[in-house]
């Protein structure tokens, strides 16, 4: 149930493909019947102004622990076989991927529900902070969008 | 006999400080750590606190060698 913080651009679907190959090597093919993949990427607009870039800050150590705790909670709540979380930090441009959450399970309900749970918990508890660059200068994002 | 204090994001910029050290005294709370370092009587609204990288409240008692962090609401994902 790995968690990765990445400073540079990452390709979420390659990450999923590579991790799934490793997962199949570890647990054997045919063990999961459902996998869900959520990818969050950067918009070029937000509440007030066009956003030309963004910086994502995090708390090294605590951020990874928070994401690991969230993954473990999901595994306790649903019959999940494995999870993968990748989150970008540093300087980010519109269209870049920011976050990847992937879940593998025997059936679809657990894969859907656990993925949503991980994503919502990440947004409310994992220590990351966004600062947007707009025509008016840098602006810290103060709250998350509703969903 | 000291504790380490960290600030993140908007708080880090507003205080112009990312890390500080503070001498530990018995019974010190997280709020008192904030007051001693910043000179401000209260935490800004919605400020979050972590002690040893776990969320905590402002009245938690800080032990020697603890790491105390203050930061705004999180906005990842």
Residue of B nearest to A143 (CA): B75
Pairing of strands B54-56, B67-71: unpaired
Chain B partners of A62 at a C-beta cutoff of 8 Å?
50, 53-54, 69
What does the domain layout of chain A look like in residue ranges? 3-140
Tokens 């007051």 identify what position? B35
Residue B76 lies in a domain: no
Residue B8 lies in a domain: yes
Question: End-to-end CA distance of chain A, in Å?
Answer: 24
Q: pLDDT tens digits for A67-89?
A: 999 999 999 999 999 999 999 99
CA of A59 vs chain B CAs: smallest distance (Å): 8
Q: pLDDT tens digits for B15-74?
A: 999 999 999 999 999 999 999 999 999 999 999 999 999 999 999 999 999 999 999 999
User: For position A48, what pLDDT does the model report?
Assistant: 67
Q: Please determine, for residue A146, whether its predicted confidence score (pLDDT) is greater than 90.
A: no
The region that residue B27 occupies, defined by phi over 0 for left and psi between -120 and 50 for alpha, beta otherwise, is left
Our count of domains for chain B comes to 1
Q: Tell me the pLDDT of chain A averaged across its residues.
A: 95
CA of B56 vs chain A CAs: smallest distance (Å): 12
Residue B77 lies in a domain: no
Contact A62 B77 (CB under 8 A): no
Q: Which range (A58-62, A128-132, A136-140, B73-77) has the least confidence? A: A136-140
Residue B7 lies in a domain: yes
Q: What fold is seen in the domain A3-140?
A: Aldehyde Oxidoreductase; domain 3 (3.90.1170)
Pairing of strands B67-71, B2-7: parallel
Q: Which of A144, A63, A57 is nearest to A92 (CA)?
A: A57
Integer Cα distance of A35 and A130 in angstroms: 29
Confidence band, pLDDT 50/70/90 cuts, at residue A145: confident
CATH code of the domain in which B49 resides: 3.10.20.30
User: For position A144, what pLDDT does the model report?
Assistant: 79
Q: pLDDT tens digits for A8-53?
A: 999 999 999 999 999 999 998 899 999 999 999 998 887 767 889 9
Nearest to B76 among A61, A123, A140 (CB): A123
Full-model pTM: 0.95
Contact A128 B77 (CB under 8 A): yes
CA of B27 vs chain A CAs: smallest distance (Å): 25
Mean pLDDT of A119-138: 95
Residue B48 lies in a domain: yes
Q: Which domain holds residue B36?
A: 2-71
């Amino acid at each position: 149930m790995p968690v990765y913080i990445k400073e540079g651009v990452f390709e979420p679907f390659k990450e999923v493909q590579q991790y799934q190959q490793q997962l199949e090597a570890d647990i054997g093919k045919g063990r999961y019947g459902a996998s869900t993949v959520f990818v969050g990427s950067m918009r070029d607009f937000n509440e007030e102004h066009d956003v030309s870039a963004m910086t994502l800050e995090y708390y090294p150590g605590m951020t990874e622990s928070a994401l690991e705790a969230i993954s473990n909670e999901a595994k306790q709540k649903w019959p999940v076989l494995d999870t993968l979380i990748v989150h970008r930090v540093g300087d980010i441009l519109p269209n870049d991927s920011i976050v990847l959450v992937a879940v593998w399970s025997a059936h679809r309900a657990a894969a859907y529900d656990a993925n949503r749970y991980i994503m919502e918990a990440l947004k409310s508890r994992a220590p990351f902070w966004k600062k947007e660059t707009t025509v008016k200068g840098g602006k810290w994002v103060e709250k998350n969008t509703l969903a | 006999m000291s504790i380490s204090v960290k600030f993140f994001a908007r708080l880090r910029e507003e205080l112009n400080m990312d890390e500080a050290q503070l001498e530990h005294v018995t019974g010190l709370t997280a709020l008192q750590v904030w007051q001693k370092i910043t000179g401000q009587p209260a935490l800004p609204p919605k400020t979050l606190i972590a002690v040893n990288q776990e969320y905590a409240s402002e009245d938690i008692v800080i032990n020697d060698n603890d790491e105390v962090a203050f930061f705004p609401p999180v906005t990842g994902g």
